[in-house]
Structure 1
């Protein structure tokens, strides 16, 4: 019986006390009319019990995070493996989730670029190499005489914890100042209590000096000390205002730019160290759209041409909006009763984008009394954006969002990453260009890319994993997708095949996979590829139960379980 899944007395939903024996390591299709009880048997009985038993095998500590699981209505089930369900639900709608992150190929790409990528200057594009201490000294000595310089050793960069040991060690070594999260503190006097759940940055102040002739020796000694403390990184604070980054790793001698140590998190758009600071790694920004603000330019301002909530009251002479626009009308000589599209272009721009700092004076009497205003009008668009950002009400934020459109971020052009990350290349392509290629082209690129012997030695294992996963996606017919494609835009069939490809890539054996109508929405060509994928999963040593109406899938099955004869109370 070890080779069988035995079910006795299944009564979940409309199942009529079913007894069933299924062979393990086979492709089994459950078929029958819609509503006959296929899903009740596959998902609500077999999958629910397999998952429940697996969770019960975990420690009490792990179980508290997974919650209680209901025991299905069944007398007895034996021969179950840990169960994985692959159903019709699409993958995450999170805007940070992409095909690359869902399949985990992006994690391997980050590692590959961090280990074998060739860094270039983000400014001039020249390939950059490591900086010597003498070069750092020369660069600082070129600053104007009497410039105050503070040399900082970054010893903690964006890591959670209280970091008590780090600070204790610094005091024992004789350092009395440190810059913690941007604020300089005295280590000998202040009681420093950092929040262990927040990320902190700690830079030890190693030396403070003034640039003048004859200071080269002291500068050299101090820089060497900084390098020992920080492992090759230094921040030079110039006159307390500007900062210069130095690294024994990478710097551009022409642009005087140093970049931080290249590590995998630099290529993550979900990490502040790699994400574009403007769009925080989303690749797009919500901006107020003038066409949504003025949806009908045939209307006059008094009739409500400005559709944004709050501005519709311009027609009411007792409103603040009327008092403001009455003052603007008198100052800029336009009429509230002229259709918006007939107003001069400079007046339209003033209404939308503001008076460019020019103030208007007006008086408004409201429930809190009469007040005189001297106000530089910011424009309807900036006003809407500000109210959106300041509002704590979710419903109001949704209201303001209805006047906004997502546009590619102006800083990163939709690439999601900092310029330093995009300046690292493999085969003359950066990580954004690589993830923007179709999976079919990307597979060819990685099979043909020319690497040095050193790069091959370091990247061999990573490339092997990337090529294998890309191969699985090609096998299930998804060679046209890109890794940068947002997972929220995938169809149900695409999402399901991505999950199947991920499961093949995991290489697990002895697992019970339960699939919900995987052929829905697929073309015949893709259906054949899907069936080949299911057969491959079975051949690895797994049991597959597929709830399906598709004839081709039934022909490919080792066993068919037909449930019926009717639906609802007539099924099961």
Structure 2
């Protein structure tokens, strides 16, 4: 049963009378903020709106939350601060009346497979204590039930629950010698450092084909543990190929690997459940101890909504307080729309939206009040049916006496705000101004871009496109899918929808990637250093460097800040990072190049009156006026098409939001010759006014002869589709079935799924 939003506290929508009841922001200039000043009411729910790049995150995260955290850090001794992350002072004249800020963002949780939903919420720790008290036969203390503790973990898989097998034929070619490139592992090519260590070790002959190695040579080549050797006259450490590959690539979380290495790991390694524990991660003693016929691994594998029912039935007075706390945590997970997860679900497999909601659970039961909670698009990844639940949680945090700041685009969440701050009017250099502050009614009447689009609705297509054929999926049973068959029409726009956990991603990502002509643009993060930026990521810099080289009669390498043209002091970063020992380190603009990244010689070369640093300082729309033709203009047009016209060419990728990174990937993948595009929630992070541009882009992809499949909850995208595949009826074990296929018009007029009800209200409103 959907939760009803609670009513605001008395005077909840009235302006705060006391000066201490507002957070005073004076002269904020962080990133693109244009020296703005405003008052944000405390103990109220404030939603920050505006187009992508308008300055919302710079104000909320980069100014208010950052200064709160910095001031808290300064209360610690210099010695303790030396172990804490460096937080610089934001560019703002004054901030008054701040309270402690807790940021609940969409960053992925956990860095390895030992972090699970259960460990992240402490639910597994509480469950371990329950089993240590009530489990029969008794197995020991709570640590005896921990897969992260030597006392409880399975000795064979060391608590990971799985074993890996490496396909040697993906690592090497036995018919070649080392000199001929027998090793096919990334970064092990002929002449690389890793190759030189192996080839020069004296343990094998680099001119002999691998299939002719002796048994001893083969074992040394593959399995020799780390050993000091002299290779090519240099003292170094030798490791067998399997040992080194396992250490470099397999013992790390795959999300931390570069895409081409991740693809190699996916090809070369197969994972299976540990034979000793069957994937349960625990030793036999822990697995033998049971409550009501179930061991702790059985409980952790249950859907959380089912586990809540099991815990409710234990009813043992000796652990009643602990059971009540555990019950509250499990009920909160169900209430927040995550009842379809299990406690043993690895944190790294959660989407950004799921991770944010799991983090919320820790705060719902907190006794802290007068805290500032900061949320980054908490409705991301939520079906319209679940947004009401999220809204209720935000209101509950407010009603406990907290200040809740939310960066959000969804009108359903803007509608519950006590106070709205609208930034703009545009993005990048065209944004950063305060367009409106006040209540919802005032926003509607304000005439701002957000106000004008608040009640905007996309219409159903008058006539759906006709498919040219179908992509067939048969017997899909990944995760919660129940032997699903599907026919996905070709040459049209198909939207796959359903509540979170209904099986959408399992159906599409589990069945279609890898087929010829299929390009996937998902939400996996872009891996890049401080040197990576939109120009390098899209290949635009190659075209820019070539243009500069041709115009000046020099080689392109001069115009790379990572190569010959780099400033020798800052090595092409534009910043110098200084370690202040126990004090927080600082980054300062390089005095030699003044942040321009290049040598003085390189900056003497110009293209139509601009040097390379001036071109990289342009945003996309400015660069489109500068590059009117050629490959550079083609790339820039794609960036503009996906709504990134405000993005700086040289802006570090580390500063981009999740939605910006995904659209950057989409712009890059559009260059590939594909027949089928799979997009995963492309409306994430888009302002209401930008959704129409996204719909136009999807139309153009289809009109160019492509098939576009979109996994999406946004009702405007659903309404605009030619075809809808709706999964459900619920989440987890209650989902995994196709509950409707057909046109959006048929869904609205004749179906009774959760999606149908909400889309009917949307197009009828």
TM over 0.5: yes
Q: Please list the CA deviations of residues 223-248 of structure 1 after superposition, one character each: whole Å capped at 9, or x if unmatched.
A: xxxxxxxxxxxxxxxxxxxxxxxxxx
Q: SS state of the match for residue 443, structure 1? A: helix
User: Per-residue deviation at 1:459?
Assistant: 1.1
Distance 1:38 1:374 in 2: 65
Structure 1, unaligned runs of 5 or more: 120-249, 251-260, 294-305, 320-363
> Within the alignment, does 1:516 sit opposite 2:376 as a pair?
yes
> Could you tell me which residue of structure 2 aligns to residue 496 of structure 1?
356
More strand by share: 1
Query: 8 Å contact 1:288–1:381 — kept in the other structure?
Result: no
Q: SS state of the match for residue 556, structure 1? A: coil
> Could you tell me which residue of structure 2 aligns to residue 48 of structure 1?
66
Query: 8 Å contact 2:221–2:241 — kept in the other structure?
Result: no
Distance 1:286 1:563 in 2: 50
User: Per-residue deviation at 1:92?
Assistant: 1.6
Distance 2:214 2:61 in 1: 67
> Could you tell me which residue of structure 1 aligns to residue 172 of structure 2?
309
> Within the alignment, does 1:279 sit opposite 2:157 as a pair?
yes
User: Per-residue deviation at 1:285?
Assistant: 1.1
Query: 8 Å contact 1:422–1:431 — kept in the other structure?
Result: yes
Query: 8 Å contact 1:29–1:561 — kept in the other structure?
Result: yes
Query: 8 Å contact 2:179–2:206 — kept in the other structure?
Result: no
User: Per-residue deviation at 1:557?
Assistant: 0.6
Query: 8 Å contact 1:4–1:23 — kept in the other structure?
Result: yes
> Could you tell me which residue of structure 1 aligns to residue 27 of structure 2?
9
Distance 1:79 1:440 in 2: 41
Query: 8 Å contact 1:388–1:400 — kept in the other structure?
Result: no
Query: 8 Å contact 2:178–2:206 — kept in the other structure?
Result: no
> Could you tell me which residue of structure 2 aligns to residue 262 of structure 1?
140
Distance 2:268 2:328 in 1: 45
> TM-score normalized by structure 1?
0.59
Q: How does 1:226-237 map to 2 (within 5 A)?
A: none
The alpha-carbon distance between structure 1 residues 460 and 395, as it changes in their structure 2 partners (threshold 3 A), is closer
> Could you tell me which residue of structure 1 aligns to residue 42 of structure 2?
24
Distance 1:488 1:532 in 2: 27
Q: Please list the CA deviations of residues 328-383 of structure 1 after superposition, one character each: whole Å capped at 9, or x if unmatched.
A: xxxxxxxxxxxxxxxxxxxxxxxxxxxxxxxxxxxx99889xxx998599999997
Distance 2:420 2:51 in 1: 14
Query: 8 Å contact 1:116–1:458 — kept in the other structure?
Result: no
Q: Please list the CA deviations of residues 477-527 of structure 1 after superposition, one character each: whole Å capped at 9, or x if unmatched.
A: 111110011111111111111111221133321111111111122101111
Distance 1:513 1:365 in 2: 62
Which shows bigger deviation, 539-548 or 67-76? 67-76
Give the counterpart of 1:94 among 108, 112, 115. 112
Q: Please list the CA deviations of residues 36-71 of structure 1 after superposition, one character each: whole Å capped at 9, or x if unmatched.
A: 111110010001001111111223343221144211
Distance 2:76 2:329 in 1: 30
Q: How does 1:460-475 map to 2 (within 5 A)?
A: 460-475=320-335
The alpha-carbon distance between structure 1 residues 533 and 313, as it changes in their structure 2 partners (threshold 3 A), is same
The alpha-carbon distance between structure 1 residues 279 and 486, as it changes in their structure 2 partners (threshold 3 A), is same
Q: SS state of the match for residue 312, structure 2? A: helix
Query: 8 Å contact 2:377–2:406 — kept in the other structure?
Result: yes
Give the counterpart of 1:444 among 309, 326, 329. 309
> Could you tell me which residue of structure 2 aligns to residue 208 of structure 1?
none
Distance 1:76 1:33 in 2: 26
> Within the alignment, does 1:81 sit opposite 2:74 as a pair?
no
> TM-score normalized by structure 2?
0.44
The alpha-carbon distance between structure 1 residues 112 and 378, as it changes in their structure 2 partners (threshold 3 A), is farther
Give the counterpart of 2:77 among 41, 59, 68. 59
Distance 1:316 1:71 in 2: 54
Query: 8 Å contact 2:108–2:355 — kept in the other structure?
Result: yes
The alpha-carbon distance between structure 1 residues 11 and 423, as it changes in their structure 2 partners (threshold 3 A), is same
Distance 2:265 2:30 in 1: 47
The alpha-carbon distance between structure 1 residues 387 and 15, as it changes in their structure 2 partners (threshold 3 A), is same
Give the counterpart of 2:294 among 413, 429, 437. 429
Distance 2:213 2:426 in 1: 76
> Within the alignment, does 1:571 sit opposite 2:431 as a pair?
yes
After TM superposition, where is structure 1 displaced by more than 6 Å over at least 4 residues in a row? 314-317, 364-368, 376-386, 396-401
User: Per-residue deviation at 1:79?
Assistant: 1.0
Distance 1:38 1:529 in 2: 24
> Could you tell me which residue of structure 1 aligns to residue 536 of structure 2?
none
Query: 8 Å contact 2:68–2:100 — kept in the other structure?
Result: yes
- Over the aligned positions, Cα root-mean-square deviation in angstroms equals 3.2
Q: Name the larger-Rg structure.
A: 1
> Could you tell me which residue of structure 2 aligns to residue 484 of structure 1?
344
Q: SS state of the match for residue 332, structure 2? A: helix
> Could you tell me which residue of structure 2 aligns to residue 553 of structure 1?
413
User: Per-residue deviation at 1:310?
Assistant: 5.1
> Could you tell me which residue of structure 2 aligns to residue 415 of structure 1?
280
Distance 2:348 2:267 in 1: 20
Q: SS state of the match for residue 506, structure 1? A: coil
The alpha-carbon distance between structure 1 residues 466 and 539, as it changes in their structure 2 partners (threshold 3 A), is same
Give the counterpart of 1:390 among 230, 235, 243. 243
Distance 1:524 1:373 in 2: 62
Query: 8 Å contact 1:308–1:403 — kept in the other structure?
Result: yes
The alpha-carbon distance between structure 1 residues 377 and 419, as it changes in their structure 2 partners (threshold 3 A), is farther
Q: Please list the CA deviations of residues 524-543 of structure 1 after superposition, one character each: whole Å capped at 9, or x if unmatched.
A: 11111111111111111111
Q: SS state of the match for residue 541, structure 1? A: coil
State how many pairs are aligned: 364
